[in-house]
Structure 1
Amino acid sequence: MGATGSKLEKALGDQFPEGERYFGLENFGNTCYCNSVLQALYFCIPFRDQLLDYYGRIKTVGEAEENLLTCLADLFTQINSQKKKTGVIAPKRFVQRVKKQHELFRSYMHQDAHEFLNFLLNQLVEALEKEAKSDPTAPASPEKKSSDNGATGEEHPLTWVHKIFQGCLTNETRCLRCETITAKDEKFLDLSLDIEQNSSVTSCLRNFSSTETLIADDKFFCDKCCSLQEAQKRMKIKTQPRILALHLKRFKYMEQLGRYKKLSYRVVFPLELKLCNTAEDAPGSESEYSLFAVVVHVGSGPNHGHYVSLVKSHNHWLFFDDENVEMIDESYVQTFFGSTQEYSNNTDHGYILFYECLDPAKAS
């Protein structure tokens, strides 16, 4: 990527951000699903800062047991400490660890970037929680762990992954006979949204929280009425995350086809977003979010294709395609909204969106 790197440096010129590094990631045979997510996470500054800090701490106290957390911290430190501003890094150790941890990622088949993101964040949480249990002096924020019936159980540490990505949904069900509202909270690290043709992320979020009426066989058992009753149900965001990860459900199982099909629908994702589906008493309900990364699926189906990522860094947009990194104009982001027609030559569609809260104090 020497020529590409030089071109990027030339394009940025005097505007090249001090201390920043723009490195492509080598592909080890259909590992673009991994590379695209890693680039989005690297340019998630709160996440990167925590990983670099974590790496500094484990190096100070000695070698930690290898896991995905230590491998990712090592990779981010490698990129961050490069003498050159641009180039290519081979995330070999990290990819080997991913394959060792989960058999799903051991083959050279095309994998799903959203599944990988979920797997990675949960693995990092697991490693941090395990570490906290073995080290009572480790700083952590206690959080009550709730069981399915809402009862409070044991306390467990709130990791920095939670502090960055975790939000809380409240599932409200209102009995239409006695008007009693039953609320149940549910934590999330990302939200998966159903999509429709010629829609927007805002409308997808609104539909996510639309009211559903439970009747006939779907009646709700009301504890106050002690019987099944018709009810209204809705899901709203109770606490907003600092980083809002939105997964657009572009792969839908079609019974008539007997397989999954990719939905190439045009879904507009704005550069600035205000959440419209927060609970009335939600703190920071007026919070605004800014788009900083998009993982794009390229291809016509779920079982083949390619992943690339768009990243905003220091007010510049960059395009990451495995080893290649290019500077792009902000308007280019719009080309990944999707197609207004079912069959189109454009198969490059936004799949995972990363938004950062502009006022972190209002987020959870």
Structure 2
Amino acid sequence: MAAEDVARAVVRAESTEEIPEIEAGGRPVDKSINASPTLPRSLLRLSLSPWRDGRRPESKTVGHHCLPFLPKKPASNPRRPAVEDRSRPAAAVEGGSQRGGSSVVGGLWTGLRYLAGVAGGWREKWMVMGTAGSKLEKALGDQFPEGERYFGLENFGNTCYCNSVLQALYFCVPFREQLLEYYANNKNLGETDENLLICLADLFTQISSQKKKTGVISPKRFVQRVKKQNEYFRGYMHQDAHEFLNFLLNELVEILEKESSAAKGSPGTSSPSEKITNATCHPLANGVYKEPLVTWVHTSFQGILTNETRCLQCETVTARDETFFDLSLDIEPNSSITSCLKNFSSTETLNAEDKFFCDKCCSLQEAQKRMKIKKPPHVLVIHLKRFKYIEQLGRNKKLSYRVVFPMELKLNNTVDDADSEYSLFAVVVHVGSGTNHGHYVSLVKSHNHWLFFDDEHVEMIDESTVQTFFGSAQESAGNTDHGYILFYESLDGRS
């Protein structure tokens, strides 16, 4: 590294005031809002060689004592640091930034911002996003959608799985509008009976009501509630975005059902076993059935699958309906969403040990089974099964297969109504080669513009960039950024 580069990285200071304590995530414990703009020289010297050699400095207080050399301006392309950097566990940066899924330099950049914020009277909390935000506004110019807001979300230690899903849901406009309306009618409930729905509605309201068009919002209240509600999401471990989405939608439904029951003067009826998971709930056949409450979450995301089984002995067809919030599809190398959906609805023969018990024959019989979509949802969420258990390895493996997902999708051979058409508006992307580490980002289409959301970072991208997240044509390819959850919105309005 050139001498002038090192010189830029060393901050000269005359004051000997102490640096404030730093919380997890690099945030300072701001004991004095009028902190001195200068920091002790002894704590601001920089040791660059460990980072240059790819080794972690011996000091555990990275954010305190080791301020890295940083570029003069952020890169113009979507920030995609090396996987090994983004997948560092939170413990690896103890005392510094706990920003899960970011690069080492990215985490230290956050720490530097916080230190500079305290030293300068906390005037520039988000220097990076301020620059990126102004770039985004400049890029959109007069085309910036009226009333729209593009805000990044602060990461609280491996919460990128949460942030990426929240961005996709925020730009699911019908869902967002229902949440905003709910909050307007129930915002006082949060003072006495806080729940996940109130916290989410509050977060979306904060974003939509910002005076600035771009910036960063802290989802701290929502994240804390998620961790309180479900121990699975506590700590700083890497979590699965699809599992979080399922958890969130089911929790919202349960809260709405309980509120509806309370309003009618009857106890809540939801139980964990009744929650909608991946197409495994609410049978509509076989006996007397009480119609479940249809909430606005159902209106947006719920579809109905029909599982048809035809006995090959008596030709009797048995149909069983199941509701779903998302479709989980098996994937193959060099395939497409259309082919995956075709395989999903292909006919399967049940024989040998898998024979079907026919009620008419009163015995086990060979049969043919087929799954199809009876009622497609307004918002079709498709989960690609990129993580598969490999028996020979004794562990899960990420499938980096190239799976093409089109901008416009027709549900041919999958639904009764072959004219169902959908448009892609969001993609949650998993970055990394492993199953227990990595990073999540999201791609969102808003008012005919595609945006890239990486926690606090937001920028505009070309539509052609979305194709880079299809996956790898070859197993050994270096690309590890793969589409994981796809969000399609119905175009016909008849769902």
Question: TM-score w.r.t. structure 2 length?
Answer: 0.69
Q: Is the 8 A contact 2:307 2:369 kept in 1?
A: yes
Q: Distance in 1 between matches of 2:332 and 2:176?
A: 34
- Out of 245, 259, 269, the residue aligned to residue 405 of structure 2 is 269
Tell whether the 8 Å contact from 1:58 to 1:64 is kept in structure 2 after alignment: no
- Residues 41 and 184 (structure 1), Cα distance of their counterparts in 2 relative to 1, 3 Å cut: same
**After the TM superposition, which residues 241-256 of structure 1 pair with which residues of structure 2 at under 5 Å, given as runs?**
241-256=377-392
Q: Specify the alignment match of 2:55 in structure 1.
A: none
Q: Corresponding residue for 2:170?
A: 42
> What is the aligned partner in structure 1 of residue 352 from structure 2?
216
Overall identity of the aligned pairs, in %: 78
SS of the residue aligned with 1:312? strand
Q: Could you tell me which of 255, 277, 280 is aligned with 1:127?
A: 255
- The aligned counterpart of 2:460 is 327
TM-superposed CA distance for 1:146, in Å, is 4.8
Contact 2:282 2:323 in 1 (8 A): no
Q: Secondary structure at the match of 1:204?
A: helix
* Ranges in structure 1 where 5+ consecutive residues have no aligned partner: 138-144
Where does residue 4 of structure 1 map in the other structure? 132
State the match for 1:78 in structure 2: 206
Q: 2-side partners of 1:93 and 1:60: how far apart?
A: 16
Deviation at 1:156, TM superposition (A): 3.0
Instruction: Give a deviation string over 1:190-242, Cα, whole Å, max 9, x none.
Output: 00000000000000000001110011111111111111111000100000000
**Residue 150 of structure 1 pairs with residue 286 of structure 2:** yes
Question: In structure 2, which of residues 477, 489, 493 is the aligned counterpart of residue 344 of structure 1?
Answer: 477
Deviation at 1:79, TM superposition (A): 0.1
Q: Does 1:317 align with 2:445?
A: no
- d(CA) in 2 for partners of 1:271 and 1:146? 32
Select the structure of larger CA radius of gyration. 2
Question: 1:16 maps to what in 2?
Answer: 144
Whole-angstrom distance in 2 between the partners of 1:258 and 1:160:
42
Q: Distance in 2 between matches of 1:90 and 1:21?
A: 15
Aligned twin of 2:43 = none
Give per-residue Cα distances to partners, 1:247-271, cap 9 Å, x unaligned.
0000000011110000000000000
- Residues 21 and 70 of structure 1: is their aligned pair in 2 closer, same or farther, counting only changes over 3 Å? same
Larger proportion of strand = 1
**Which of 305, 308, 330 is the aligned partner of 2:438?**
305
Query: Aligned partners of 1:161 and 1:62: how far apart in 2?
Result: 20
- Structure 1 residue 149, shift from structure 2 partner: 5.9
Deviation at 1:151, TM superposition (A): 2.0
- Describe the SS at the equivalent of 1:158: coil
Distance, in Å, in 2 between the alignment partners of 1:226 and 1:269 is 44
Query: In the TM superposition, what are the counterparts of 1:173-188 in structure 2 within 5 Å?
Result: 173-188=309-324
Contact 1:4 1:324 in 2 (8 A): yes
Paired residue for 2:159?
Answer: 31
CA distance in 2, matches of 1:185, 1:243: 19
Q: For residue 148 of structure 1, report the CA deviation from its aligned partner.
A: 7.9
Report the secondary structure of 2:307's partner residue: strand
| Number of the residue aligned with 2:21 | none
Give the secondary structure class of the aligned counterpart of 1:156: coil
Q: Structure 2 CA distance, aligned partners of 1:234 and 1:278?
A: 10
Q: 2:162, 2:330 → 1: CA distance? A: 23
The 1-side partners of 2:263 and 2:228 are apart by: 26
Match of 1:288 in 2: 421
Cα pair distance change 1:60/1:100, threshold 3 Å: closer
The number of residues matched between the two structures is: 352
Q: Relative contact order (C-alpha < 8 Å, sep 6+): which is higher?
A: 1
Q: Which runs of 5+ in 2 are unaligned?
A: 1-128, 266-280
- What is the root-mean-square deviation in Å for CA atoms of aligned residues? 1.5
Equivalent residues of 1:146, 1:153 under 8 A apart: no
Q: Verify the 8 A CA contact 1:197 1:265 in the aligned structure 2.
A: yes
Q: Distance in 1 between matches of 2:490 and 2:428?
A: 18
Paired amino acid for 1:356:
E
Matches within 5 A, 1:85-96: 85-96=213-224
Inter-partner Cα distance in structure 1 for 2:336 and 2:377: 20
C-alpha separation in 1, matches of 2:309 and 2:283: 18
- The residue that corresponds to 1:202 in the other structure is 338
Which residue type is aligned with residue 403 of structure 2? V
Work out the CA distance in 1 between the residues paired with 2:459 and 2:333: 30
CA distance in 1, matches of 2:225, 2:308: 41
Please tell me the residue identity of whatever aligns with 1:66: E
Deviation at 1:321, TM superposition (A): 0.2
* 1:110 partner letter: H
Indicate if the aligned counterparts of 2:379 and 2:488 stay in contact, CA closer than 8 A. yes
Judge conservation of contact 2:283–2:320 (CA < 8 Å) in 1.
no
Scaled by the length of structure 1, the TM-score of the pair is 0.94
Give secondary structure in 1 for the equivalent of 2:286: coil
SS of aligned partner of 2:346: coil
* Deviations, residues 327-348 of structure 1 (Å, cap 9, x unaligned): 0000000000000111121100
Match of 2:67 in 1: none
1:140 aligns with: none
Distance 1:285 1:132, change over 3 A: farther
* Residues 299/61 of structure 1: CA separation in 2 closer, same or farther (3 Å cut): closer
Residue 277 of structure 1: how far off its partner (Å): 3.5
